[in-house]
Amino acid sequence: MASDIRHTEKTNAMQAVCDSELFAHLDRLCAFLKYIVTEELEGRGALIMGKTIAQDVYDRDPAEEGDINNVVRVDARRLRQTLKHYYDTAGRSDPVRIFVDTGGYRPRFERVAIASPDKSENPRRTFGWAALSFVVGTGIGIGIALIGLGENSEPQIQQSTQSPRKDSLRRQAVIEQSASSLQAMNLADQARSMMFPIFDRPRQQLVTEVFRRVIELGPDYFGGYAGAAQALATLAIMTPPGSEKSALTREALAMADNALRLAPADPWAQSAQAWAKFANREYDEAMRISKRAVALAPDDEHVLDIHGSIALFSGHFAEAARHAEKAMNGGRSNQRFANRNIFGAANFHLENYQVSLDAFSAAASYGDPISAPSFAYQTAALYALGKTREAARKYAELKNSWPDADVEKMLTGIFKDPSHAEKVIKSMKALESNPN
């Protein structure tokens, strides 16, 4: 019960979170967490509101234009997700846990019984099972992506991209082979939903380990290899040139080849091959294979997101916008897809700056994945529209939320044409040289 948890234990729980490696670069989320915990411990928990957080944590003027509570809602959503991630991994042994329930900002504390660790597990296995609990714990019973349309909205349960009838038949066919194969397929489906945002290295490392577990459970199931190929390729894209990048790329290509060997006509296997080729800087081949994956599964949001990403970073902006818009209009709410972000970035390069901003705003409202590059695009779009004060404010939010993120390296490392990355980066450089 929360009533038997002492103030010192609650403070220690908060400090453990903020001292963790996961939160090490998340200064803004830590400031958010420290504020609401401090207010709760000092007896003002019932008075915590979005506007007070905006004023006291972000120094926002309540008289300024726009919805100052929007950034609080977005960060509250990020804090809930990141706390879940922390307690499923590094913080799984913490005796007291902090929760921020949907619909408000007041923290809640729970004492947790900790199971005795199995000392026979090696470090790799421990990390793999931490990753497994991260995905399964997020997914079982409610679907892996319970994201509301707002702080007070009812959650939307993830649906399969296939029809219920086809999905049921697929699972029946798999379980006739073995129960472990069905377990592998279920776990792969859950892990696949956690692959965005791509510019999140710890996420990709965790997802990679989950897919390795999928391969252990079902070595003849293609999905484990397809998912591992995509996660490894994403890690390769984020890694500077060198031996580590080369090794990740080689393994991603090998995993993709295994997926195609087991299921040559499956759209996920095709999409994974395309993404691995993209990581290997085979841009034209990646586009060719990705188009085939889309033709095989024109309504699969995962396939559409990968294709949109390949098209965007290869410089095919109209193609990226078209397929992202198709995914956006698919009739589902957010399910950890990146289509609105892809649509926003593509329209920036098409010089539709207001359309770009509207897309990123919608992404934040729906709880879509956010990252430092998405804030960089918003900064650049505002700057291009001559809204320099708003651009400076957005850039400040970027630096506060991701102080260690090297956006320039992220973008130049993924774009085929460095000039496309420079178009985004130059506005930030201008703001740095002239902060007023």
- pLDDT for residue 178 is more than 70: no
* 72 and 57 within one domain: yes
Asked whether the predicted pLDDT for residue 108 surpasses 70, the reply is yes
Query: What domain range is 77 assigned to?
Result: 2-116
**Chosen domain end from 296, 312, 333:** 296
Do 98 and 186 belong together in one domain? no
Domain end residue (candidates: 263, 296, 329): 296
Q: Which residue has the higher pLDDT, 351 or 191?
A: 351
- 328 & 190 share domain: no
Count of structural domains within the chain: 3
pLDDT per residue over 316-330, tens digit each? Answer: 999 999 988 887 776
Same domain, 247 and 145: yes
Residue 66 to residues 61, 63, 71, 390: CA-CA distances in angstroms?
11, 9, 11, 10
Q: Are residues 67 and 195 in the same domain?
A: no
Decide which of 4 and 126 is more confident: 4
Examine the domain organization and report whether 359 and 419 are in the same domain: yes
284 shares a domain with 378: no
- Do residues 48 and 126 both lie within one domain? no
Domain boundary among 61, 95, 116: 116
The verdict on 73 and 202 lying in the same domain is no
| Mean pLDDT of the region 258-276 | 95
Partnered with residue 269 across adjacent β-strands are none
Residues 291 and 303 both lie in one domain: no
* CATH code: domain of residue 288: 1.25.40.10
Q: Partners of 96 in the beta sheet?
A: 111
Same-domain pairing of 106 and 233: no
pLDDT digits (tens, 9 = 90+) for 124-165: 444 444 444 444 443 333 232 322 323 333 333 233 344 554
Both tokens of 20, joined, read: 């963790």
User: Which pairs with CB-CB distance under 8 Å and at least 24 residues apart come from 92-100?
Assistant: 92/130, 92/133, 93/117, 94/13, 94/16, 95/9, 95/13, 96/5, 96/9, 96/10, 96/12, 96/13, 97/13, 98/10, 98/13, 98/14, 98/17, 98/33, 98/37, 100/36, 100/76
Q: Specify whether 365 is located in the same domain as 263.
A: no
